[in-house]
Structure 1
Amino acid sequence: MIMPNIAAFIAWGLITALFIPDGFFPNEHIGTLVGPMVFYLLPLLIAYTGGKLVYDVRGGVVGAISTMGVIMGTSSPVFIGEDGAGSPMFLGAMIMGPLAAWCMKKLDSLWDGKIRPGFEMLVNNFSAGIFAAIAAIGSMFLLTPVMNLFTRVAGAIVEFLVNTGLLPLTSLIIEPAKVLFLNNAINHGLITPLGSAQALEQGKSILFLLEANPGPGLGILLAYMVFGRGTARATAPGAAIIHFVGGIHEIYFPYVLMKPQLILAAIAGGMSGIAVFQIFDVGLRAPAAPGSIIAILAQTATDSYVGVILGVLAATAVSFAVASVILRFSKQTEDDMAAATAKMEGMKGKKSSVSSALTGGAAAAQNTISKIVFACDAGMGSSAMGASVLRNKIKDAGFGNDVSVVNSAINNLRDDFDLVVVHEDLLNRAQTPTPSAMHVSVDNFMGSPRYDEIVELIREQREGGAPGSDGAGDSAAVPAAAAAGAGATAAAGSAGGAGSSAHAGDAAPTGRHAATTGADSATFGAGAATSGADSTTTSSSSNTAAADDSKQILSVDSIRLNASAGSRSVAIDQAGDLLVDTGAVDRAYVNAMHERESSVSTFMGNGLAIPHGTNEAKSAIHDSAMSFIRYGQPVDWGGQEVKYVIGIAGADGQHLGLLAKIAKIFSKKESLAQLEAAQTPEEILEIFGKVNG
């Protein structure tokens, strides 16, 4: 909830540092931004982000509205009086945003699928509005008293620690909490609200320095540079720069996890720094986010530079001294940086965007691929086809039990996959929610040579570079190229750098497939005909059942042979009309098919296109259905020739089995020849039915 909004914290901090009465360039007009930003903008952004994580945009909107109640309850004069001091509700937003979104999600599930066609927008908008209003009022009168009590108690504790000189004791909690990834909850949930109130009153606050001080972590990394061994010693200099200048404190957490005794060094350093800060009575005008020395100096009050610098140096020196003793006299073993990084990511709950720096810049490429996801707009058509093709290739290579391949809507992606395959037009959207995964972009989902590179990368990881079954003499070079591109993606993904991985695996076009990307460049061996993970039929008797299952979704009435279309738009209309005629979709779904095509092409390769609607158009689908059209003359599909168009409407996943069949058919030259020779719709159904899905 916090990290995506760091830019907003920086913007508020700069305005505070520059334009408040004690700032560098006091300006009463610009200074009016400070209060509303900290009391309204920042909490609402946190609430929206938290709600969106739970229930996408709908959850974000409901979460933000609901949080307004607790914001007003803790800052409005009606509640706190004309002379009262409000408290920014960052912690309240962290609670209310996700909670309201989760409740909205549960409410929507009560009437999911029960809304009459044409009333979806009315019901969805009014239900969200009514619930958000109720939740806002509820947070105002139920959560506000809890947050006010919490703030008063926390403020009293901090005041006691400051007045008694015991503030350095907070390091006993803060430093271990940082390694356990509780730093954002403590820093932005507790310290920042209290510090902001203090800074608005006094012009600065020492509280902003309690967690942000980079000295303790820097001292530990310097000790590793002198007394460390192996990978830890080799990577410590780079990690120190990222930590101290870049402000990414999590970079030093694995070094502590390798030797948990080092938490004593962090605590000692933190306490020393805070003691110096207190002696010199220093403070920052606003939070330093991220905790970079640059951000800290930018927010330092004009009378606090000497004390802040001395405090950081003291924390570094004490942390270095304690860590050096621990490293020097502890048992000397070869440090396992990869294991420590994995432990850190386990506690974080997701992969670390900076972990590659801990293994010489190639951590992402070294991660063993076990979870692959294909992503497209709706997650039911193009991606399902691609997933089926790659799943079969991986199974044929003997790794079907080790690697899972799934498909997903791009809006549902989460950062828990090792490899993301996406159409090149959607690459930027896929990188944002999956910053630590490898990303491979393709120009079609059926015949991309990237699939063979992925299989060879998996083979190399598990077998140490065994040659591929296709006999390519230089296939071992392909995974290296793909890994290099993927590593750059993982490193740049969190910073929004999409360009570095526009074509993972293309960066070094080595190997037989690397130089080609066209739909017709890939060849399909006999292995493609074997049954994949989607298999549902294994005998001749079950083939008949498969044909019957297919007819439930693809029927004789929705098949057209030797059709003609002057353009892609006309072909989409024809495929959509067949779906409408079956009663499976409303006319609005055809419009959504055109909308989907305008954003990303549904060309699959090998003369096949699979137009389908957007994810938002699922309300227009009543049942899963498919239409099949074979054209006498190819249709120009955005510069590609298409002879087969299959329209898809997926209501509940029933069509996925048939998609697997289609993937097999269009990856086999003999099956394509049978489709071309078929004279009746019944023959088309028979071809689909005879394929083991």
Structure 2
Amino acid sequence: MGVSTGVNIQKEQSAFQLKVQKFGRFLSGMVMPNIGAFIAWGIITAFFIPTGWTPNEKLSSMVGPMITYLLPLLIGYTGGKMVADVRGGVLGAIATIGVIMGSDVPMFLGAMIMGPLGGYVIKKFDQAVEGKIPAGFEMLVNNFSAGIIGGMIAILGYLAIGPVAAGLNNALGAGVQAIVNAGILPLVSIFIEPAKILFLNNAINHGVLGPIGIQQAEQVGKSIFFLLEANPGPGLGILLAYWLFAKGTVKESAPGAIIIHFFGGIHEIYFPYVLMNPVLLLAVIGGGMSGVFTLSIFGAGLVAAPSPGSILAVLAMTPKGGFLGVIAGVVVSAAVSFLIASFFVKRAANGEDQDLENAKEKVQSMKLKKEVEAEPVKLPVLKKDNIKLGLSSMSKADAIRMAGRLLVDTGYVSENYIDAMIQREEDLSTYIGNGVAIPHGVGAAKKEVKQTGISILQFPEGIDFGDEKAYLVVGIAGAGNEHLTILSNLATIMEDEKVAEEIKQTTDVDFVYNVFTQQ
């Protein structure tokens, strides 16, 4: 019974850790794609604010709008896109502007709430109306639904969520200031150093410390919070200890790891060295605490987050007059980490090589890089095999079935999609003018679409599509709302009358393929 209970507890802990990791990855995923924008803001701040390297009143006027509008909107868009692709991203950005205008502080926290919320709401709406929109009204419904829902969420953010997020921001700021005033900021390393190894460092840095640091930097021109996790000193101390006192392959691998960690900024490289001998958590905690203590004494900080956490990036984000304190913080943290780690590395038993490999595997597992389900192979929207030229005239129904069969045989749709294409044609003609028809499935057949793709059939003599003749039949299978992009691109192609006529008569598959793929 005791063993069973222990196993259950272990499973629950593992499940909880998995949820924490996924949440951390999601937070990190909203910020990481936009790091370039954060760096741009940091460089402009470091150089052009009144206390910067080259003060410039005109150029420094960009600092405020970037932190107030640009950065939160990018986070909100990215968060929405992670939930519901580009359409979700647009809703996420619309939702975020509500909390931005509903608060007088930079709304990074609000953006992390409103972005995914906007994506989630539009995703649920699309699922609810899937297959219920009358033929020919898809674009109208999609655009107006995005506008109406986006407007409503923006108003909600402005009136309700914005003030709440601002209050939470103020509470967090007050709590942080209390920790600083009490002189116990170094103690946060007790949580940060183990957590960044066990739960994902990017989640801590960009999901928690980054937003707090940005608000502090806006007020005083720098923030120590940018260095709480990004300081490369503790990891450097661990790797130096292994280089000097370990044996075999572990010793030989340490110099390369030092370069990657300290100059490349990839902190994950030292995680296996800690996990190989978990007592070394004491070393990184000690290094982190001493580094924060030193930074606090000097009043040091950075103007923006250094990403990746390289010493080069750290120095690039150091404000004018702040190099001594920042460098001292890194050096002291590395020295303390090295001294503690050296004691334990010397005492370590033989067999480090195998332990290092096991630790690396553990890190990979903890970062969820070993997925149980493989991702499906992504197909291009158009394959050359799906272009058929110089076809003899046939009935409209046969042409639609041929276009659908190509999509089935090349893996874009299931067999049932062909019948859905015929049904769509019976409900409403898919002839769009200029000798072009675009047969596609009814809305209810979206579930039959595996990936977005098209097939192209050319009939030089034309085939009857009702009262019109079609010379080009383009079969369309669009996942989500991607068929709208295909239609837009097709319209752009056919606007050029010379190109359109050549497509209808050419015998060159490469020409047709290049015209469509260039769009």
TM-score by length of 2: 0.69
Asked if structure 2 preserves the Cα contact closer than 8 Å seen for 1:2 and 1:184, the reply is no
In 1: Cα distance, 2:91 partner to 2:373 partner: 36
Following the alignment from structure 1 to structure 2, what is the Cα–Cα distance between the partners of residues 149 and 165? 24
Which residue, 455, 467, 476 being the options, matches 1:613? 476
Q: In the alignment, residue 476 of structure 2 is paired with which amino acid?
A: G
Counterparts of 1:127 and 1:555 in 2: how far apart (Å)? 36
The alpha-carbon distance between structure 1 residues 301 and 640, as it changes in their structure 2 partners (threshold 3 A), is closer
1:63 and 2:92 aligned:
yes
User: Aligned to 2:222, what secondary structure does the other structure show?
Assistant: coil
Structure with more of its chain in helix, by fraction? 2
Q: In the alignment, which residue of structure 2 is the partner of 1:21?
A: 50
Deviation at 1:584, TM superposition (A): 5.0
Q: Are 1:270 and 2:288 matched, yes or no?
A: yes
Q: Give the alignment of 1:384-395 within 5 angstroms.
A: none
1:348 aligns with 2:367: yes
| Residue type of the alignment partner of 2:46 | A
Does the 8 Å CA contact 1:282/1:303 hold for their aligned counterparts? no
CA distance in 2, matches of 1:370, 1:69: 38
Distance 2:512 2:172 in 1: 65
Alignment of 1:205-224 (within 5 A): 205-224=223-242
Counterpart pick for 1:376 among 376, 379, 384: 379
Q: Report the counterpart of residue 104 of structure 1 in structure 2.
A: 122
| C-alpha distance in structure 1 between counterparts of 2:400 and 2:169, whole Å | 68
1:23 positional shift: 0.4
In the alignment, the residues of structure 2 paired with residue 370 and residue 193 of structure 1 have an alpha-carbon distance, to the nearest angstrom, of 34
Query: Does 2:81 align with 1:52?
Result: yes
- State the distance in 2 between where 1:181 and 1:228 align: 27
* Alignment root-mean-square deviation, CA: 3.5
Contact 2:437 2:474 in 1 (8 A): no
For the residues of structure 2 that align with 1:581 and 1:260, how far apart are their CA atoms?
60
The one of 314, 320, 329 equivalent to 2:332 is 314
Structure 1 range deviating more: 339-348 or 217-226:
339-348
The verdict on how the C-alpha distance between 1:305 and 1:145 changes in structure 2, with shifts beyond 3 A counting, is same
Counterpart of 1:257 in structure 2 is 275
Q: Does the Cα contact within 8 Å between 1:13 and 1:288 map onto a contact in 2?
A: no
The aligned runs of 1:119-268 (5 Å cut-off) are 119-229=137-247, 231-268=249-286
Change (3 A) 1:235 1:371: farther
Q: 1:374 is matched by which residue type in structure 2?
A: V
Question: What's the TM-score once normalised by structure 1's chain length?
Answer: 0.53
> SS of the residue aligned with 1:139?
helix
Looking at structure 2, the residues matched to 122 and 97 of structure 1 have their Cα atoms a distance apart, in angstroms, of: 24
How many residues get paired?
403
Contact 1:51 1:63 in 2 (8 A): yes
3-state DSSP of counterpart to 2:378: strand
2:367 partner amino acid: K
Q: Which residue type is aligned with residue 345 of structure 1?
A: Q
Q: Higher relative contact order by CA 8 Å / sep ≥ 6: 1 or 2?
A: 2
Asked whether the equivalents of residues 70 and 92 of structure 1 are also in contact (C-alpha less than 8 Å), the reply is yes
Q: Which amino acid aligns with 2:364?
A: E
Match of 2:510 in 1: 638
Cα distance, 1:579 vs structure 2: 9.6
Deviations 1:88-117 (A, max 9, x none): 222222222112211211111111010011
Alignment of 1:644-683 (within 5 A): none
Gaps of 5+ in 1: 76-85, 352-366, 383-442, 446-553, 561-577, 599-609, 622-633, 642-693
Partner of 1:534: none
Q: Which runs of 4+ in 1 moved over 4 A?
A: 554-560, 578-585, 588-593, 595-598, 618-621
Change (3 A) 1:329 1:444: farther
Identical residues among aligned pairs (%): 51
1:296-329 alpha-carbon deviations (Å, 9 max, x no partner)? 1112122221111111011111111212222221
Residues in 1 aligned to 2:510 and 2:173: alpha-carbon distance in whole angstroms:
63
- Kept in 1: contact 2:234–2:283 (CA 8 A): yes
Task: Report the 3-state secondary structure (helix = DSSP H, G, I; strand = E; otherwise coil) of the residue aligned with 1:116.
Answer: coil
What one-letter code is carried by the residue in structure 2 that aligns with 1:347?
M
> How far apart, CA to CA, are the structure 2 residues paired with 1:318 and 1:620?
59
Superposition deviation, residue 179 in structure 1:
1.3
Cα distance in 2 between the residues matched to 1:180 and 1:39: 33
1:143-542 to 2 correspondences below 5 Å? 143-229=161-247, 231-334=249-352, 335-350=354-369, 371=374, 373-378=376-381
1:94 maps to amino acid: M
Determine the C-alpha separation between the residues in 2 that align with 1:248 and 1:226: 21
Q: What is the SS of the residue equivalent to 2:304?
A: coil
User: Which deviates more from structure 2 when the two are superposed, residues 220-229 or residues 275-284?
Assistant: 220-229
Is the Cα–Cα contact under 8 Å of residues 243 and 255 in structure 2 kept in the other structure? yes
Within the alignment, does 1:37 sit opposite 2:37 as a pair? no
Report the CA distance between 1:337 and its aligned residue: 4.0
Alpha-carbon deviation of 1:39? 1.6
Q: Secondary structure at the match of 1:638?
A: helix
Residues 296/639 of structure 1: CA separation in 2 closer, same or farther (3 Å cut): same
Change (3 A) 1:92 1:558: closer
**Mapped partners of 1:296, 1:133: distance in 2:** 40
Task: Provide closer, same or farther for how the CA distance between residues 227 and 147 of structure 1 changes in structure 2, counting only shifts above 3 A.
Answer: farther
Given that residues 32 and 206 in structure 2 are in contact (C-alpha distance below 8 angstroms), is that contact kept between their aligned partners in structure 1? Answer: no
Q: Residues 70 and 341 of structure 1: is their aligned pair in 2 closer, same or farther, counting only changes over 3 Å?
A: farther
* Residues 44 and 67, structure 1, Cα contact 8 Å, conserved in 2: yes
Please say if 1:587 is aligned against 2:431: yes
